[in-house]
Amino acid sequence: MSACLLGQPVRYDGGHKEHTFLTGILAGYVEFLPVCPEAGIGMGVPRPPIHLVGDRQRPHALGVEDASLDVTAALEAFAAATLTELDDVSGYIFKKNSPSCGLRQVKVFARPGQRPRRQATGVFARVVTSALPLLPVMEEDGLDDAQQRENFICRVYVYHRWQALQAHGLNAADLLHFHAAHRHLVMSHSQASCRRLEKLLSGLSAERLPHTADVYIREVMATLARPSRRAQHYKVLTHLAGCLDQRMNSRQRATLATRLAAYHDGGLSLGETIATVRHLFEHHRHPDSDKPLYLYPYPDGLGLRNAL
């Protein structure tokens, strides 16, 4: 992630933009790789500020006070070199509005001195996201929105599990097992996508495994990037409750139905409702059976679903 978000004083003015969710909560669960492209190319701290000038699709990074300072090629080269360190990185958080790290709506000037438009991507961020299209990415302001924060962290953990699968050596059985574990999570974002994935996997063969796996994970990550609505979660929770129906007694059925209805109507958070379903799964499911990762997508201590 952008190093300034971890409190490192690497910004052009010698300051930082520490985000307390990162340094306070998330730091207990993940390993950070801090990167500051501008410091990385030797601009120093403090340094002359830069901005984006030219075509919004591929602008130049020029000095604000001295337009002859052009660090575009240096930032692109630094990004290309950094890619080798990102092979096992499972997510990236970029600094919003940065001419090097901003993901979207970064100011770009058609020519120096003209009025800017918020239409560009930072030079470093453009190279990284183009080279790693599956990598979950976001800007730090998304961490302040409960739904965006949960969505991003969930994708990071899903992608991390996929990377581990790839590192182990993917085979057909592993791919089918991965989907079985994640199908309810995908379903909570799009039932249509889940059906497409199951159709894709129904004709799985050893010869087409690499191609099928590539198509599969691209669809999974694209689907999970879409916001999930309360109604979609309710359908998945109702489906999971149905899996337990024959094992529950009448009191448990009534309690679960009441809590699902309360969630549907906005009276319970997603975290509270899932806690009820999880308790029943742990009580009634066979200990050797797999637990749906929809119920356990990331560590509980992150508390991400409590505000949903």
Written as six digits, the tokens of 260 are: 């699902």
- How far the first Cα of the chain sits from its last, in Å, is 25
How many angstroms from the chain centroid is the CA of residue 60? Answer: 28
The span from the CA of 59 to the CA of 56, in Å, is 5
pLDDT interval class at 289 (50, 70, 90):
low
CB-neighbour burial class of residue 274 (10 A; exposed 0-12, middle 13-18, buried 19+): buried
- Based on the number of CB atoms within 10 Å of its own CB, is 17 exposed (0-12), middle (13-18) or buried (19 or more)? middle
pLDDT at 285 over 80: no
CA–CA distance, 200 with 222 (Å, rounded to integer): 16
Angle between helices 209-224 and 191-202 (to 10 degrees): 170
Confidence of residue 111 (pLDDT cuts 50, 70, 90): confident
Residue at 106: amino acid letter:
V
pLDDT band at 79 (very low <50, low <70, confident <90, very high): very high
What pLDDT shows up at residue 287?
56
**Amino acid present at 42:** G
Mean pLDDT on 61-73: 95
**Which of the four pLDDT bands, split at 50, 70 and 90, describes residue 49?**
very high
Average pLDDT, integer, range 5-12: 97
Task: Provide the pLDDT for residue 17.
Answer: 97
Say whether the peptide bond before residue 46 is cis (omega within 30 degrees of 0). Answer: yes
Percent of the chain with pLDDT over 90: 87
Band of residue 113 on the pLDDT scale cut at 50, 70, 90: confident
Question: For residue 112, is pLDDT > 80?
Answer: no
**Greater confidence, 244 or 22?**
22
Domain ranges (residues) in the chain: 3-142, 144-224, 230-307
pLDDT of 284 reads 78
Please tell me the pTM assigned to this model. Answer: 0.94
How many residues can be counted in the chain?
308
Which residues have CB under 8 Å from 290's CB, separation 6+? 177, 180, 181
Residue 286 pLDDT grade (very low, low, confident, very high; cuts 50, 70, 90)? low
Question: pLDDT (tens digit, 9 = 90+) per residue, 180-221?
Answer: 999 999 999 999 999 999 999 998 888 999 999 999 999 999
In three-state secondary structure terms, 94 is strand
